[in-house]
Structure 1
Amino acid sequence: MEASKKFILKLADTYHCQIIEGNDTFFIIKWSWDYQQALAFQLEMVQLVRINREIKIFILCSHPHCFTMGRGLQKGKEVQQAGLIDFDWAQASKLCYPTHQIKRGGGITFHYPGQLIIYPIVNLGHGEFSVKSLINFLAQIVEEVLFKRGGGPLSHDRPLLGIWHKDKKLASIGFALEHFVTYHGLALNVLFDNTIFAELAKINPCGLGVDRYSTVEESFGNLVAFSSNKEKLIPILGDEIIAQIRERIS
């Protein structure tokens, strides 16, 4: 365990990340993290957690503007009834931001600095979580943190993955598994960003029209109003999410 801890600390320092450590749980924090660098870090942690099954790593970050393309849209009768629209790769060259092909579930989606992203690196072979229970665990924590600040009602128990406020999607969820270790995760739209939302009309993120997406700022302006600098809301929410995870895991 000590060697693994040293490796995590060293790699986090190499990537200039903040780190919070518990017994077997580590939180890695970095805002506006280059997507490919963050993915490389995730994959390093996946290999470590594959061997050290008791270790759990939660990465909290945001990325510069970009798009990511998963393995494909959700399947199933109820999902088909939603009329999801698949992304046309012929449109990729027309996008203003880079597109990364990745291994998580789901279709094309988006990242931008106004998001709060949680990447859980957890070995399901340890027996504490399944994919479904890990999704529920993270979604419930995000929902409760927002609810305590006056945001709601929120739900994630729907055929279409995500965190929803009424008919608007506030967070996208898509995991990948490698040797029973999870990576990728949950992206919460906190602040409105006109440049990225203008691009969404070209891609139908997760198969949905741009009008189905919203942000914490748009849905619950009271959460943003408490601070003269609304960008501070993302790390504040991050701290509250970390506190909830630590309380429930320890």
Structure 2
Amino acid sequence: MRVPRSLEVWKMGMVNYLDALRLQEKLVSARKVNKISDTLLSLQHPPTYTLGKRRTDHNLLIPESDLKSIGAELHHTQRGGDITFHGPHQAILYPIISLRDIGLGARNYVEKLELTMIDLASLYGVKASLGGRCETGVWVGGRKIGAIGVRISYAVTSHGLAFNIDPDLNYFKNIVPCGIAKKEVTSLRRETNLELPTEEVIQEQLILCFARIFGYSSVSWKEGASLLNDKKEFDEI
């Protein structure tokens, strides 16, 4: 008999990257000792470039000193993957879940993240697919629409996926996205002729795709933006 599993979704809105990183670290620690159940952060970031633990700085194509002039930041992380961009009009999910509890290995976990974005794209008639060898993420033809970079510590996940709804694609010209040269980056807006609903609706659809693919029987929702400004509530996680 299948055991029902619930997912708590925190809707965060626009969050500074370092604040989101601090929250993830706090939640990961809590999830490891079963203080919280599986949790999913849904948010967007101001313009931000992030590097993975391999530190492929050469894939940043402009001097770091120039980033302030274009309104962007650069942060180094401990996730897998190469350099990527996060910004407004991009749907980001950071799952803080126990792979041990749901019986998944790392590769299967990444595949399910990819399927989550493929399912969302299909709702708008966009035929997205997995990439070729060494091409993680989700692609529409030779154009990347969704990126993945994860960290797994003692079977608990952090970081996650970023799906391009309608970000400013010019930001991607300053990097070799995910270390894959001579490939375009695209967005849902660019790939469909349909009238898109609000970004909040699209992000909720992405969450529901995630919940279905990962087999959660119920989803609860929490407005989490205020938590970052409430030290008492944050410390109690």
- Aligning the two structures, in what range does the TM-score lie when normalised by the shorter sequence? 0.7 to 0.9
Structure 2 residue 40 is the aligned partner of structure 1 residue 26: no
1:155 aligns with 2:122: no
Residue aligning to 2:209? 244
Per-residue CA distance 1:112-159 (angstroms, 9 max, x = gap): 01100111111223252222222222221221222122121x112532
Question: How far apart, CA to CA, are the structure 2 residues paired with 1:199 and 1:104?
Answer: 21
Q: CA RMSD in A?
A: 2.5
Q: How does 1:127-146 map to 2 (within 5 A)?
A: 127-146=102-121
Report the counterpart of residue 93 of structure 1 in structure 2: 65
User: How far is the alpha carbon of 1:86 from its aligned partner?
Assistant: 3.9
Q: Which runs of 5+ in 1 are unaligned?
A: 1-21, 75-84
Aligned 8 A contact 2:142 2:183 in 1: no
> Is 1:178 matched up with 2:147?
no
SS for the counterpart of 1:221 is coil
CA distance in 2, matches of 1:111, 1:101: 13
Please say if residues 73 and 207 of structure 1, whose CA atoms lie closer than 8 Å, have aligned partners that are also in contact.
Answer: no
Q: 1:143/1:36 Cα in 2 relative to 1: closer, same or farther (>3 Å)?
A: same
Q: Is the CA contact (8 Å cut-off) linking 1:139 and 1:163 kept in structure 2? A: yes
Counterpart of 2:82?
Answer: 107
Aligned-residue offset at 1:181: 1.1
Among candidates 31, 35, 39, match of residue 21 of structure 2: 39
Q: Distance in 2 between matches of 1:202 and 1:63?
A: 17
Question: Paired residue for 1:6?
Answer: none
Question: Would you say 1:119 and 2:94 are equivalent positions?
Answer: yes
Aligned position for 2:49: 67
Q: Deviations over 1:76-129 (max 9, x none)?
A: xxxxxxxxx942588222223110110011121111011001111112232522
Instruction: Indicate whether 1:49 and 2:31 are aligned.
Output: yes
Residues 1:137 and 1:36: Cα distance change in structure 2 (over 3 Å):
same
What is the TM-score of this pair, normalised by structure 1? 0.74
Are the aligned partners of 2:88 and 2:167 in contact in 1 as well (CA < 8 Å)? Answer: no
The verdict on how the C-alpha distance between 1:24 and 1:88 changes in structure 2, with shifts beyond 3 A counting, is closer
In structure 1, distance between residues paired with 2:196 and 2:184: 26
Corresponding letter in the other structure for 2:130: H
Tell me if structure 2 keeps the 8 A contact 1:73–1:106.
Answer: no
- Distance (whole Å) between structure 2 residues aligned to residue 179 and residue 226 of structure 1: 39
Bigger helix share: 1
User: Take 1:244 and 1:200, find their aligned partners in 2: how far apart are those partners?
Assistant: 26
Q: Is the 8 A contact 1:106 1:206 kept in 2?
A: yes
Contact 1:53 1:123 in 2 (8 A): no
Distance in 1, matches of 2:27 and 2:160, equals 14
* Equivalent position of 2:190 in the other structure: 218
**1:165 aligns to 2:140 (yes or no):** yes
1:198 maps to 170
Q: What is the aligned-residue identity percentage?
A: 24
Specify the code of the residue in structure 2 equivalent to 1:115: Q
1:154-212 CA distances to partner (integer Å, 9 max, x unpaired)?
1125321010000000011010122221100110111041xxx3343232121234751
User: C-alpha distance in 2, partners of 1:73/1:155?
Assistant: 27
Structure 1 residues 144 and 199: alpha-carbon distance in aligned structure 2, compared to 1, 3 A threshold? closer
Q: How far does residue 216 in structure 1 lie from its aligned partner after superposition?
A: 0.9
Cα distance in 2 for residues equivalent to 1:32 and 1:135: 25
Shift of residue 241, structure 1, vs aligned partner: 2.5
